[in-house]
Structure 1
């Protein structure tokens, strides 16, 4: 069963609708006990990094999530700010991230090359998948296009954890994978067939 982590941040219904279209069972989980028996986890997120981390820390879900992901090795996918929360820290705030994939979330505005570009980075963009990346192993014979809406990007400490990049002035880490832990900066729930295929691949990993 796919469990979508509801800690008060993110459009849970959009993911429920998408999984329903894909004929994949998924439910909302808003308490620690409700995460039991999850075979896959989705960690959504929108808005400010510190706000999302504070809400997760206050929800009572973090300890159970760490048990499920780090001890039981249940696959998880963080999406948008949910991906950024996987990092150690963010330029957007002062709270520590989960630290599950080493790296830092950086501001486009702090990079001389991207600081002159419109913010946020919004709209459709191609993804360049890393050869052999399991999350792109099926259904991506053409160049995948995904919808983005963000002003901060994940900078993985170990580039071996990067499954795909995108370009907005610079090449940035758009999809990361480390063992059972995955993160995508783009919005699969808004990315039509490419988003559906990405989530199907995650479910079948």
Structure 2
């Protein structure tokens, strides 16, 4: 199975990267292929809202010429996609949000139909009252079984709160295990 991970943190060696690496190592050890996209290595403009992408249902169709097409093709080619981001102001990072916005070009295509998708979030505070907005945002976009914008299958949202606490690695490893189990059980 090929899993694409999209690392949305501006810190390449921060807490989100550590939690995502736990997940990736577990799946690699079981023989699965991992394709990590470090979003900060790509130039992705914000969506223009021009709807030109809605003209063709067989391609991504965005008129902008940046790295988005390359990133989207890697997502399309995966069996499952994990979006990983630290929580910034109750949402995804400024680096990750343009990719999600630009993914709108896939909402009227069959390019993501049935693709398994999951969210991995790290945050400095508690999950409750902190990560609820990003979880709702993700549900509305990626839970295709419940009228999400994309026709994907949402496997779950995995939140690792209190990322500054001394037991972060233990909790991140547990979240990574739960995420890996959810993806593998859904095959």
For normalisation by structure 1, the TM-score amounts to 0.44
1 or 2 for the larger relative contact order (CA 8 Å, sep ≥6)? Answer: 2
Hey, which of these two has a bigger chunk of strand by percent?
1
For normalisation by structure 2, the TM-score amounts to 0.47
